[in-house]
Chains A and B, each alone.
Chain A
Amino acid sequence: MLLRHTPKEVIERNALTINPAKTCQPIGAMYAALGIHRCFPHSHGSQGCCAYHRSTLTRHYKEPIMAGTSSFTEGASVFGGQANLVQALDNIYTIYKPDIVAVHTTCLSETIGDDIPQIVSKAQESGKIPEGKYIVYASTPSYVGSHITGFANMVSGIIQGFANQSERVIENRINIIPGWVEPSDMAEIRRMMSLMRAKYIMVPDTSDVLDAPLTGRHEFYPKGGTTIKELQSLGESSMTLALGHFTSVPGAETLRRLADVPYEFQDIPIGISATDRFLMAASHATGAEISESLETERGQLVDMISDMQQYLYGKSVAIYGDPDQLIGLTEFLLDLDMHPKYIISGSAGKVFTKRINALMEKYGKEAIVKNGPQADMFYLHQLIKNEKVDLLIGNTYGKYMARDEDIPFLRYGFPILDRVGHSYFPSVGYKGAMYMLKNILDLFLDRKDRDAPEESFELVM
């Protein structure tokens, strides 16, 4: 037993986090910045932060991740990091030649009180930022929120750097903030929008950035990502669709404040109901009709569920990860007649429990829902030790529990360090739902084949 030191009995903790179901803000800021074309993320702090974020993103995407660091020393920590940041900007524009540098802070630079806007304006005044080049920034101290907060803050920072109030409104064109989802999911949202022939700008967009092909060249700036032209045009869209309370609404709110673009909240389109609502909202806002091909995909998904419903009914599930995803996932599992029983997120926020409880109530089921401090995987494991579930869904760190307790395990979320595919196969939209459903069924049916006594082993399922 790998986690043999985990006792079954739950004793309340006030101080300690064990096996976290979250990480810190800056990595989210780095991920968001990678979704902007020719943008170079820069970590204002000590070297380790940047190395950890790059390593984690590298392990998850199996792609080279480029980002800079201010390389704080003791001197910088006493006298402030201004000199480091100014020198860094100079070097970055000279050597890496990005169009945009996206600076995020760390706990260190925040605590010593570095004032990024002031340093940036100083750099601008002293000509450190070349003509036609841009800089955006976000405050992302690690001791506030979690990685998803960092993502949302950087999306806001990017919007703040470019959004202009515009007289001109491009009717029927919308902005989409997709939330922290995979490049495959962003590509799937693009595919659905293009099937509808709907006009949109998506920010950020990591497809064609973190799912790049092997070509024999290292593209420092791959072809994907939201372009500067698109960013400058965000204020001209008729509205913004913000997918996810935690990762997208703050950016949409920033755009509303700065450029008067109204926004509508939708869930990340995970599963059938959320995808229905997303497509309706997109159709309504752009005037584009939901295409026949999308309707066919929906029908295929419903067909697949109906074919296999007997294997799904009543199956209990433990899920953990990021709140926007868990809300979508909970609804999808409930739609599949399954029972999400333990729902854990390290990221705090009251709207999460409110949404989950409302969903559980609607479907007449009960769950243990916990997020924020001490909502960690140690606690989840203890819940499972007290009452087992049929399926575990979450990031790679669930593999210890899955092995110890012998539970089928679907990898989903961030980070996935031990499997591939998440960059290419989406979990959003009807296609994504079909893919996820197929994976869930495979797990159940493989287990059934493995465990069935010889006399009841079935060929046809």
Chain B
Amino acid sequence: MQGILKERVKQVFKNGTDHFDMSCDTPSTSGSVSQRACVFCGSRVVLYPIADAVHLVHGPIGCASYTWDIRGALSSGPELHRYSFSTDLKEKEVIFGGEKKLEESIVYLAKRFKPKAVFVYSTCIIGIIGDDVERVCKQATENIGIQIIPVHSEGFKGTKKDGYKAACSAIFRLIGTGKGTKPKKPSINILGEFNLAGESWIIKNYYKQMGVHIQSVMTGDSRIEAISNAHLADLNVVQCSGSMLSLAKMMEEKYNIPYTHVSYFGIEDTAAALYEVAKHFGNPEIIKNTKELVTKEISQLTAILNEYKIKLQGKKAAVYVGGAFKAFSLVKALARIGMEVVIAGSQTGNKDDYNQLPNMCRPGTIIVDDSNPLELSRFVQERDADLFVGGVKERPLAMKLGLGFCDHNHERKIPLAGFEGMKNFAQEIYISVMSPVWKFHEFRQKKQIGGQND
């Protein structure tokens, strides 16, 4: 492909034309306007929905300010996760160390907020000045009597994915510390579900109807106690491949809990996920309930989706999301409403995931890893997309180009998970792609009238 930074040629492919061998899992090219974030960001987004813990960011103020309640993870109880706590390090601590400030902060927090636990996030600078966060946390745990858990999330020590791993390690320390008893019903932990716009509640409700007990959700609308008893579940059901797979693997090794990998996005994937769990338990009652649930939901949904399909048939979509696994579900879901994916990419997809994409996408689809605005805007214009599915940094770019947009990241305002979510997804896309605002837009106007603007 032409016009791509030479360091990036192995991260951009045209499906069916180029020999596909994605070079992913690599650091970004310096100077590129990468849409990626850092290790700390990865840890912060994974742990943040735990609503009865204090999330203390150890470092200068910025890291805490930028991550203050930005993700829309909802809680049905405590709201501690909506606060922003920072040790707010200054030059003095950078020179003489920040341990004392950290200790004082923890003592104050424990006394005033009475959290169930405290997560202490290390930022870039902690990795450089060498504060012994592990020691401070250990001592504070002993003195205060609640778990003070260090999260080794120094920003520069890898990508966002390494931050997910650091978060998983932090959660893993909690698991097994609870004094609960094993539930009587078949039970699961839901992993990699963050309750954005209340999505965990939808998913939990499905399992409840199936007769499956939810031991914990990690981490949507979660509580420390539930997590500490997560080792008592029979099965880990993992969504969002990047963020929680490592935790599932650790739990399998230590607690012998098997895991299964699912997606709750789109009809097919949601149904497959529920059947998979039902099948795992092999309980006829659960299987019967699941069939009833899926049949009912799909029959309600089909007519609605078909209507959207008629209206959206032939429209083209660009998909650029966090992980490549999420892109699969999106490709399928968009096809369900008549749309064709012409660009599929992710910030931090892994090789296994990417290798499945060429089979799912039509020839000519651009498949890209760690892209940037210049590339993305060229691709969407080249491929004449009508819709962009992405996150906060892609939204205004898509709008400027006159494309419809759907936030499939932190800033979704309506649940997109499950059957209900598919309906919302179709509606959101319909509203955005068919919005009357585009009739005031010269470029789109020409396209709609004559179609000769290509």
Contact residues of A with B, CB < 8 Å? 1-5, 7, 11, 13-20, 22-27, 42, 45-56, 58-59, 61-74, 76-77, 84-85, 87-92, 94-96, 106-108, 111-112, 141-144, 146, 212, 214-220, 346, 373, 378, 397, 400
Contact = CB atoms under 8 A, between A and B. Distances in A.
A364 B30 CA distance: 56
Contact of A212 (B67, B127, B400): B400
A87 B39 CA distance: 22
A17 B86 contact: yes
Given A5-B80, A46-B156, A77-B128, A52 B31 contact: no
Interface in B46-97: 59-68, 70, 78-80, 82-91, 93-94
B84 A64 contact: no
Given A69-B30, A143-B60, A5 B78 contact: yes
Nearest to A69: B34
A216 B62 contact: no
A63 B396 contact: yes
Interface in B4-38: 5, 7, 27-38
B285 interface: no
Given A19-B84, A23-B66, A214 B402 contact: yes
B431 interface: no
B373 A85 contact: no
B82 A214 contact: no
Contacts of A69: 28, 30-32, 34
Contact of A85 (B30, B79, B91, B123): B30
B207 interface: no
Nearest to B93: A143
Contact of A15 (B34, B63, B87, B374): B87
B60 A66 contact: no
A58 B31 contact: no
Interface stretch (B134-142, B172-180, B226-234, B441-449): B441-449
Given A49-B62, A84-B30, A218-B400, A16 B36 contact: no
A111 B94 contact: yes
Given A71-B34, A112-B128, A144-B90, A51 B65 contact: no
A51 B401 contact: no
Contacts of B31: 42, 68-70, 87-92, 95
A216 B128 contact: no
Nearest to B101: A15
A141 B105 CA distance: 22
A71 B123 CA distance: 15
Given A17-B64, A69-B30, A70-B30, A58 B83 contact: no
A108 B63 CA distance: 12
Contacts of A214: 399-400, 402, 441
Interface of B: 5, 7, 27-41, 59-68, 70, 78-80, 82-91, 93-94, 100-102, 104-105, 108-109, 112-113, 123-125, 127-129, 155-159, 373-374, 377, 392-393, 395-397, 399-402, 441-444
A11 B112 contact: yes
A63 B78 CA distance: 34
B85 A2 contact: no
Contacts of B105: 15-16
Contact of B125 (A15, A42, A92, A108): A108
Given A45-B124, A46-B156, A142-B62, A220 B374 contact: yes
A46 B27 contact: no
Contacts of A59: 392
B87 A16 contact: yes
A283 to B, nearest CB: 39
A28 B433 CA distance: 35
A51 B104 contact: no
Given A15-B105, A17-B61, A144-B91, A217 B393 contact: no
B162 to A, nearest CB: 10
A55 B28 CA distance: 18
Nearest to B347: A51
A88 to B, nearest CB: 3
Given A2-B82, A20-B86, 11 more contacts: A16-B87, A25-B62, A47-B34, A47-B38, A71-B27, A91-B29, A94-B5, A107-B125, A144-B90, A217-B401, A219-B400
B382 to A, nearest CB: 13
A33 to B, nearest CB: 14
